[in-house]
Amino acid sequence: MLSPHALYQALGIRPAERQATYRGLYKEPLGENDLLALRKATNDCTRVGNDKFQTEIAAMLGNL
């Protein structure tokens, strides 16, 4: 059975509050540089993030 993630649940007490808060996270469109980085990562099957994030994900995936 699926259940909402704890971080999503923390966005508000009621479902409508959580939904509004979540939508608010994405009100502003991505900047051109971010959009290009995401497209490149998608096309290259790579990750997007800073060096710390890259290292943590690589360690979790076993491909450091």
Position 5 scores a pLDDT of: 93
How does pLDDT run across 1-60, given as a tens digit for each residue? 899 899 999 999 999 999 999 999 999 999 999 999 999 999 999 889 999 998 998 899
Position 25 scores a pLDDT of: 93
Domain positions in the chain are 1-30, 31-64
Whether pTM > 0.75 for this model: the answer is no
- Residue 18 in contact with residue 11, Cβ under 8 Å? yes
- Residue 49 in contact with residue 57, Cβ under 8 Å? yes
CA–CA separation, 11 vs 19, rounded Å? 8
Instruction: Answer positive or negative: Cα dihedral of 5, 21, 29, 50.
Output: negative
pLDDT at 64 over 70: no
Beta strands in 1-64, from DSSP E residues, in sequence order: none
Position 62 scores a pLDDT of: 86
